[in-house]
């Protein structure tokens, strides 16, 4: 399979959303179970499709309003990894976020998720800070951001988003 054989498109139907949800349910990175109702309210779900129309990856801008958006639900089908599809899904989400008027994108990544961290940094994201997981598991979670407009107060916004989470080394 060639990189050019994959195209990226917004999820347009309940059927496609169900396929995307099934992909996320099969995630092998110890993620928490998918809340299907919250997922269905995502601001955008982006799909990676083969020429035959098979959905081999998905990613979202999570549910929310206003000019700050959160990335999440990134998964690429195991047989299709390391071909740039994760990166393609993230670049497509940035394009969609700009079109939606989002001024700041952020994402949280568990410390051990090297692939996702590289994925964000390659797409232009910056590391903000590490915090302890709010779930009390002792996990370290990295916070990342990408400003899409000049007028964003990055420090103030990120500080508001992290709230009273405890910084981690």
Ligand X SMILES: CC(C)(COP(=O)(O)OP(=O)(O)OC[C@H]1O[C@@H](n2cnc3c(N)ncnc32)[C@H](O)[C@@H]1OP(=O)(O)O)[C@@H](O)C(=O)NCCC(=O)NCCS
Binding region for ligand X (CB under 6 A): 27-29, 74-76, 81-87, 109, 113-116, 118-119, 122
Rounded Cα–Cα distance for residues 19 and 77 (Å): 12
To ligand X, the closest distance from the beta carbon of 88 in angstroms equals 7
Q: Which residue is nearest to ligand X (CB)?
A: 86
Smallest CA-to-CA distance from 105 within 152, 151, 59, 71 is with 71
To ligand X, the closest distance from the beta carbon of 163 in angstroms equals 20
To ligand X, the closest distance from the beta carbon of 150 in angstroms equals 28
Judged by CB, which is closer to ligand X: 7, or 122?
122
Judged by CB, which is closer to ligand X: 29, or 153?
29
To ligand X, the closest distance from the beta carbon of 8 in angstroms equals 12
Sequence-distant (6+) residues with CB within 8 A of 124 are 94, 146
Judged by CB, which is closer to ligand X: 87, or 139?
87
Judged by CB, which is closer to ligand X: 60, or 96?
60
Burial pattern 58-89, b for ≥16 Cβ within 10 A else e, equals bbbbbbeeeebbbbbbbbbbeebeebbbbbbb
Rounded Cα–Cα distance for residues 97 and 111 (Å): 25
């Amino acid at each position: 399979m060639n990189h050019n054989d994959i195209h990226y498109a917004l999820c347009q139907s309940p059927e496609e959303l169900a396929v995307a949800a099934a992909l996320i349910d099969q995630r092998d990175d110890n993620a928490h179970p998918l809340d299907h109702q919250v997922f269905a309210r995502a601001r955008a779900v982006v799909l990676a499709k083969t020429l035959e129309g098979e959905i081999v990856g998905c990613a979202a801008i999570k549910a929310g309003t206003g000019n700050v958006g959160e990335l999440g639900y990134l998964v690429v089908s195991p047989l299709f990894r390391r071909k740039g599809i994760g990166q393609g899904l993230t670049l497509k989400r940035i394009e969609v976020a700009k079109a939606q008027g989002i001024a700041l994108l952020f994402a949280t990544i568990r410390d051990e998720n090297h692939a996702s961290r590289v994925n964000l940094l390659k797409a232009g994201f910056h590391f903000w800070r590490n915090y302890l997981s709010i779930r009390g598991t002792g996990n370290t979670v990295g916070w990342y951001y990408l400003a899409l407009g000049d007028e964003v107060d990055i420090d103030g916004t990120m500080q508001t988003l992290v709230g009273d989470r405890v910084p981690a080394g």
